[in-house]
């Protein structure tokens, strides 16, 4: 009987631990949520999406995204296949999901009843000068049976386009990536290895170490923006330097002319008695 009682108590304890574990996982899932903040943007093409865990923002993206998706349609002869192209943009009203971690994070953006889903995966790694984070993978799932973007697609169905060996948006740890210039990525589709072009622009992204709830950390500007800013400011700097050189040249010429004039003037005798001999 004691052995039977021992086994019963052990089973009860194990059952209790399993229940606690399940409830604990349920709590963790309940505490993670996606937030759509696109209404705060004045740009009608740009969305603002956040992933929150434990009541605070752990990942946030602000950007405009457009896909150029090739797909097959029947030619007019009803026999041959030709390639058409759909233009698909991420809408402001998309649904958000994702998860955060210390070295890996991801965001899922879905719309049109999950006919389209964009997944962006981030990772953190150590490089020569310290830790950086990057976008390590991008996946776009689309359905050519969705007629608002795909017109008369041949053999319609769901396809997945993925990046290969991606290392994009590389940013120092604790900072947000900012770029006004367009960033372009090529994703390879399961639809006969077609290349889906992804354009991302007007970007601010941060998957780790957010400064505060819904607040990006210090921005890190992309190389393209830095180059464009240098090209804008360089003519101004060169113009200022040229103007400074002209001013210095005029000042030096003025003093030189004054000094030369003073040297060439006849010297009048200081002793008045000398006037008699002149």
Tens digits of residue pLDDT in 9-65: 555 454 444 444 544 444 444 488 999 999 999 999 999 999 999 999 999 999 999
Write out the two tokens for 64: 């405009």
Percentage of residues of the chain with pLDDT beyond 70: 72
**Would you list the DSSP string of 139-178?**
EEEEETT-TTT-SS-SS--EEEEE-SS--EEEEETT-EEE
- The reply to whether the predicted model has a pTM over 0.85 is no
pLDDT score for 32: 86
Structure-token pair, residue 157: 């169905």
pLDDT per position as a tens digit, 117-129 = 999 999 999 998 8
Ranges 138-142, 199-203, 243-247: which has the least confidence: 243-247
Are 173 and 126 in contact by the 8 Å Cβ rule? The answer is: no
Q: What band does 173 get if pLDDT is binned at 50, 70 and 90?
A: very high
Residue of 8, 1, 61, 51 lying closest to 31 (CA atoms): 51
Which of 176-185, 190-199, 220-229 has the weakest average pLDDT? 220-229
The average confidence (pLDDT) of the chain is 83
Rounded Cα gap, residues 156 and 191, in angstroms: 10
Q: Could you give phi then psi for residue 252, rounded to 5 degrees? A: -65, -40
How many Å apart are CA 250 and CA 45, to the nearest integer?
54
Percentage of the chain exceeding pLDDT 90: 66
Cα separation of 172 and 125, whole Å?
10
| Pairwise pLDDT comparison (260 vs 222), residue with the higher score | 222
| pLDDT at residue 248, rounded to an integer | 73
Q: At 194, is the pLDDT very low, low, confident or very high (cuts 50, 70, 90)?
A: very high
């Amino acid at each position: 009987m004691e052995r039977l009682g021992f086994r019963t108590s052990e089973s009860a304890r194990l059952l209790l631990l399993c229940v606690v574990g399940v409830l604990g996982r349920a709590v963790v899932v309940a505490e993670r949520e996606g937030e759509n903040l696109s209404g705060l943007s004045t740009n009608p093409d740009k969305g603002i999406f956040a992933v929150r865990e434990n009541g605070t923002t752990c990942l946030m993206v602000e950007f405009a995204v457009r896909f150029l998706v090739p797909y097959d349609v029947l030619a007019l002869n009803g026999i041959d296949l030709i390639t058409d192209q759909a233009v698909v943009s991420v809408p402001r009203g998309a649904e958000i999901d994702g998860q955060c971690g210390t070295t890996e994070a991801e965001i899922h953006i879905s719309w049109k009843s999950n006919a389209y889903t964009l997944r962006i995966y981030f990772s953190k790694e150590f490089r020569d000068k310290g830790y950086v984070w990057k976008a390590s993978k991008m996946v776009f799932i689309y359905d050519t049976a969705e007629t608002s973007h795909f017109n008369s697609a041949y053999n319609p169905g769901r396809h997945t386009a993925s990046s290969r060996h991606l290392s994009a948006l590389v940013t120092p740890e604790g900072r947000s990536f900012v770029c006004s210039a367009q960033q372009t990525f090529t994703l390879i589709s399961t639809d006969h290895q077609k290349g889906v072009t992804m354009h991302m622009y007007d970007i601010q992204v941060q998957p780790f170490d957010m400064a505060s709830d819904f607040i990006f950390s210090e921005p890190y500007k992309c190389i393209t923006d830095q180059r464009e800013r240098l090209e804008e400011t360089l003519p101004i700097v060169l113009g200022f330097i040229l103007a400074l050189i002209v001013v210095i040249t005029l000042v030096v010429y003025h003093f030189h002319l004054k000094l030369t004039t003073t040297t060439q003037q006849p010297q009048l005798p200081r002793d008045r008695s000398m006037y008699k001999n002149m």
